[in-house]
Amino acid sequence: MAMIGIVPSLIAAALDTLVFVVLAWCVWRALGRSIPIAVIPIIIGLVLAASGAVPASWGLPSVIGDRIGWAGVLLLAFAAGLETRQEAHLPAQSGTTTQTHARRLRFIASAAVALLLPFCVGTVAAHFHFTQLPGWAAPRGGEWLGSLAIGLCVAVSALPVLIGIVRELGPLHRPLSQLALSIAVIDDAVLWIGLAALLLAADGGSLLDGVSAVQCVALLLLVALAVTASVIKRMGVSPPRWVAWATLPVFLAAGSWSTSQLGLHELLGAYFAGAMVPQAWARKLPVERIGQFALLALAPLFFGHSGMKIDGEVLGWASLQASVLLLVLAVSAKLAAVLVCPPAPHLQRREALAVGALLQCKGLMEIVAATILRDKGLLSEHAFAALVTLAVLSTLLTGPAFRWLVRQRAVESPGRELA
């Protein structure tokens, strides 16, 4: 009898893989890789949810596919944390100490404005408009926490997808793309910290209220990871490659388990575990390949299922209007932020706007953040559907907008390089 139940599950998992992994990859290649592959499974899921084209007898989304996709997005979040350990994403350092210090201050100020301005605009717009719409009120936390959740999603810059887009742009635009990546590293870290703060606020605001023995162990485990990483960094330990590889599942499992036991979310622990891996150890790892494997082979199931699980009834004209309005707010705020406080001196207006065009990319991280917030009751189904659509639209817009801006810059100032 057990075998009878296993066979349909395996068939459903195979269909899952064909639709969200194989089909998505084929569409991506057929389009000449002109759009990020990350959004294609989401679009497929949205279309299936809106059309109701998949019979229930197919068993989609499958249980096995759910588990594989969840493992993939955990690995993707872990890889995003590992990416923050790479020197390639830090601001370039040149000139005297005074100049370097001044440039760092300017860079940090620009990163702060690029995050805070969209967050404030999104939160205010959510509080006074979006949460007043039918079906948009957050099930938990009240109006302000729901508004803060929407504001956080509006402010997101998607580090993993942005890294892939930047790699496709090539070396010609590296000065501008590296500025955007450097800011995205900071924004990504603040995003996960902000998510943790919102989840804590929704659960009463303190990890120590009614803490259990298991939660004490989870908290101590996180502290042990951080202390171990700090000691390894100070000692300058450089292990064999196999030791670094063996350490990865330990950090990933310990981080995700700890945050889940603390009432937060496994993805928070996966991200911070990746960020805690010692830098010397991270350099021994093919971080890009780890992220690509998760992105191409595993995570598409999670993102395709996220699209499918959206209530098809909320995917109407009203939802699309809300998504477009959120897109206008998010893009305008990011562009205004880099114009008000450019991340580097001597940037022309179009150069600053090109950096802003990259930073407005929402990609997978907004889907992940919105999924966490919906699971915890801080986003309604209507808000979740609109934010998923926003993520798709903003990601599709990123590459063409950047190329148009740098092409115009080249026409206006031929031969000019970034100072």
Structural Rg of the chain based on CA atoms: 21
Domain topology for 2-53+62-90+100-412: Na+/H+ antiporter like fold (1.20.1530)
**Rounded to whole angstroms, how far apart are CA atoms 150 and 143?**
11
Q: Where are the domains of the chain?
A: 2-53+62-90+100-412
Q: 85-118 burial string, b = 16+ CB within 10 Å, else e?
A: bbeebebeeeeeeeeeeebeebbeebbbbbbebb
Average pLDDT over residues 78-88: 67
In terms of pLDDT, which residue wins out, 288 or 93?
288
Q: Is the dihedral of CA 380, 382, 388, 394 positive or negative?
A: negative
3-state secondary structure 332-379: HHHHHHHHHCCCCCCCCHHHHHHHHHHHCCCHHHHHHHHHHHHHCCCC
* Arithmetic mean of pLDDT over the chain: 78
The answer, yes or no, to whether residue 65 has pLDDT greater than 70, is yes
Q: Is the dihedral of CA 255, 257, 261, 264 positive or negative?
A: positive
282 and 251 Cβ atoms separated by less than 8 Å = no
The answer, yes or no, to whether residue 306 has pLDDT greater than 50, is yes
pLDDT at 97: 44
Average pLDDT over residues 93-104: 56
Axis crossing angle, helix 317-340 with helix 97-128, rounded to the nearest 10: 150
Q: What is the pLDDT of residues 316-351, one digit of tens each?
A: 777 788 889 999 999 999 999 989 988 877 778 888
pLDDT at 95: 43
pLDDT at 326: 92
Cα angle: 38, vertex 44, 45; to 5 degrees: 95
Average pLDDT over residues 213-238: 82
Please tell me the pTM assigned to this model. 0.73
The answer, yes or no, to whether residue 72 has pLDDT greater than 50, is yes
**Rounded to whole angstroms, how far apart are CA atoms 159 and 178?**
12
Identify which of 164, 174, 230 has the alpha carbon closest to the alpha carbon of residue 398.
164
What is the distance of C-alpha 164 from the center of its chain?
Answer: 12
Identify which of 92, 266, 143, 277 has the alpha carbon closest to the alpha carbon of residue 196.
266
Identify which of 226, 241, 254 has the alpha carbon closest to the alpha carbon of residue 281.
241
pLDDT at 263: 65
Q: Is 350 exposed, middle or buried (0-12, 13-18, 19+ CB in 10 A)?
A: buried
Structure token digits, residue 262: 């603390």
The answer, yes or no, to whether residue 209 has pLDDT greater than 60, is no
**Rounded to whole angstroms, how far apart are CA atoms 366 and 299?**
14
59 and 9 Cβ atoms separated by less than 8 Å = yes
Average pLDDT over residues 350-376: 84
Q: Is the dihedral of CA 163, 169, 175, 177 positive or negative?
A: negative
Identify which of 120, 186, 158, 192 has the alpha carbon closest to the alpha carbon of residue 358.
158
